[in-house]
Amino acid sequence: MKQKIAPTSVEVPVGDDDVIVSKTDLSGRITYVNRTFMRISNFAEREVLGKQHNVVRHPDMPRGVYRLMWDTLKAEREFFGIVKNLTSDGHFYWVLANVTADRDDDGQSVGYFSVRRHAPASTVRAVSDLYAQMMKIEREAGPAEAPAASAQFLRRLLEEQKTTYDRFVLGLYQQ
C-alpha cells in the first residue's frame, strides 16, 4: 500500500539543463531512475525501485491523462504530456514528459521510459484550466469511473479541435 504524502504549495525548480529519467517494466513498475530524478523528487533509489510509478502522482493530476498515456503506449505510439509530479516531501514540479517504449535487440517492448524536462510557466497555465475541468469530472464520476470519464472528455475536446493530445501539448511550445 502506497503511503500518502500530504501535498504542499512549494514548487521545486526544474532547471533548463535538468533531464529527469525513469524506466519501468511493462506494468509501470519502476526499474531505473537517474540522479536528476532522485535530486528533484527527493526520493532515494531504494524508495522507488520496484514501486508502481504512481508513487510520484500528484493528486492535482487527472487520472484521465494517464489513461490516455497508457492507451497511446499500448497502441505503440510515444506520448507527450505536461505533468505535475509529487516529491517525497509533498512539494511539486511541472515537466514536459516524453514516454516511449524500451525495446530489446529484437524490437520487443520490454518496458517504457520517460524523459522529462522543465515545463515553462506558459504551458502550465495553458493546461491548468483543462486539468481542473478533468478533476471536476473525476470527482463527479467517483474513483472507479474517474479515469475513463475524464479521458473521454479530453478525447472529445481534442476531436472537436481536430487535434491529438500530443499535437496539443507540442503546439503549446510554438505559441
Ligand X SMILES: Cc1cc2nc3c(=O)[nH]c(=O)nc-3n(C[C@H](O)[C@H](O)[C@H](O)COP(=O)(O)O)c2cc1C
Which residues form the interface with ligand X (CB under 6 A)? 22, 24, 28, 52-54, 56-57, 61, 63, 66, 83, 85, 99, 112-114
Which residue lies nearer to ligand X by CB, 112 or 168? 112
Decide whether 57 or 117 has the Cβ nearer to ligand X: 57
| Smallest separation, CB 173 to ligand X (Å) | 19
Nearer to ligand X, 153 or 175 (CB): 153
Q: C-beta of 10: minimal distance to ligand X in Å?
A: 18
Rank residues 115 and 157 by Cβ distance to ligand X and give the closer one: 115
Query: C-beta of 61: minimal distance to ligand X in Å?
Result: 6
Q: Do the beta carbons of residue 152 and residue 115 sit within 8 Å?
A: no
DSSP string, 12-53: PP--TT--EEEEE-TTSBEEEE-HHHHHHHT--HHHHTTSBG
Nearest residue (CB) to ligand X, 11 versus 161: 11
Full strand arrangement of the beta sheet holding 30-33: 30-33, 20-24, 109-118, 92-103, 79-86
Nearest distance, CB of residue 100 and ligand X, angstroms: 8
- Which residue from 57, 132, 123, 62 is spatially nearest to 87, judged by alpha carbons? 57
- Measured CA to CA, the distance from residue 148 to residue 104 in angstroms comes to 31
Amino acid making up residue 104: D
Radius of gyration of the chain (CA): 16
Q: How far is the CB of 16 from ligand X (least distance, A)?
A: 19
